[in-house]
Amino acid sequence: MSKRSKKLPKKRQNSDYWIYGHHAVVGALMNENRVKYEVYFTSEAEKKLKNEIKLENINVITIKKTRDEIDLLLKGVSNHQGICLRVEKIQTPQLLDFIKNLNEKRSIIFLLDQLDDPQNVGAIFRSALAFNIDGIILTNNNSVTENSFLAKTASSAIDKVPFTKIQNISSCIKILKDNGYWIYGLDMKARSSITEIKFPKKIVFVLGSESKGMRKITDSLCDESLKIKMSDNLESLNVSNTAAIMMFYVSNINLKS
């Protein structure tokens, strides 16, 4: 076992968890805004990690473990690829600070209203990274919190895509509108299709929960509701699939406009 002595930050109560998997761990290690404690890895995983980053430049303890020891540490998780990192949850900015850090003239945000499945949310973060989405807003209530499974599914995107969390969706949407954003709700029952709209340069797309879709109160706050046209063979798409299609479409439309 090898270990380097480091003076680490003081841990916040109930805010630390394990990130596992090579890409997720690399993303967290490279995130300067992420508090990190110790990284455990097998000899094989250590070699792969050191080919990508210089661990000596990062304030983190490094400890060699066997795959079985990491299995035990992660309580049976088997897809860790021989590496895991104990971290603090990311401290998200206030909404106004989040907006100020985005491009003032052109930006695309996705607002996830009460999504509680970490696999879906992680997949949405991954798609957001793939299609250069500027940011994600999550609601605090009835929503998934940052955790190991979300981070693994996101495959580093949670450390690369800016995001924040909000308490009240009504006040959030008002602030977004006051800052020049046009709000679109994605709803399979909407009259207008995404292909019929000429989108402005500052856009927010709202996605509702996996089980109930967009809430009535949320729908009433949107400037317009839109749907993705598809065949009659399927009633609806999974929320992460809807997000991926929308992200691909709008990022390409915006690049051309």
pTM equals 0.90
CB 147 within 8 A of CB 17: yes
163-175: average pLDDT: 96
Distance of CA 226 to the CA centre of its chain: 23
- Give the other-Cβ count within 10 Å of 200's Cβ: 14
* Region class of 21: left (phi > 0), else alpha (psi between -120 and 50), else beta: left
Give the containing element (helix H, strand E) for 109.
Answer: strand 107-112
Task: Find all residues with CB under 8 Å of 244, minimum gap 6, and list them.
Answer: 123, 124, 127, 131
| Least confident segment among 57-61, 132-136, 241-245 | 57-61
Structure tokens at 54: 């210089």
Which pLDDT score is estimated for 256? 57
Query: What CA–CA distances, in Å, run from 12 to 2, 5, 35, 165?
Result: 26, 20, 10, 18
Predicted confidence (pLDDT) at residue 1 exceeds the cutoff of 90: no
Task: Show me where the domains of the chain are located.
Answer: 16-88, 95-256
73-99 residue pLDDT tens: 999 889 999 999 999 999 999 999 999
Select the CATH number that applies to the domain covering 95-256 from these four: 3.40.50.150, 3.40.1280.10, 3.40.190.10, 2.60.40.420: 3.40.1280.10
- DSSP codes of every residue in 179-248: TT-EEEEE-TT-SEEGGG----SEEEEEE-BTTTBS-HHHHHHSSEEEE----TT-S---HHHHHHHHHH
Per-residue confidence at 214, pLDDT binned at 50, 70, 90?
confident
30-71 residue pLDDT tens: 999 999 999 999 999 999 999 999 998 898 999 999 999 999
Percent of the chain with pLDDT over 70: 93
Residues 245 and 39: their CA atoms lie apart, in Å, by: 35
Name the burial class of residue 141, with classes exposed (0-12), middle (13-18) and buried (19+) by CB atoms within 10 angstroms of its CB. exposed
Give the containing element (helix H, strand E) for 88.
Answer: strand 83-88
Task: Identify the sign of the CA torsion 123, 129, 130, 135.
Answer: positive
Pairing of β 36-41 and β 83-88:
antiparallel
Which pLDDT score is estimated for 3? 45
Amino acid at 75: K
Q: What are phi and psi of 107, to 5 degrees?
A: -160, 150
Q: What is the CATH number of domain 16-88?
A: 3.30.1330.30
Mean pLDDT across the chain, nearest whole number?
91
Q: By C-alpha distance, which of 24, 27, 176, 204 is closest to 112? A: 204
Which pLDDT score is estimated for 46? 95
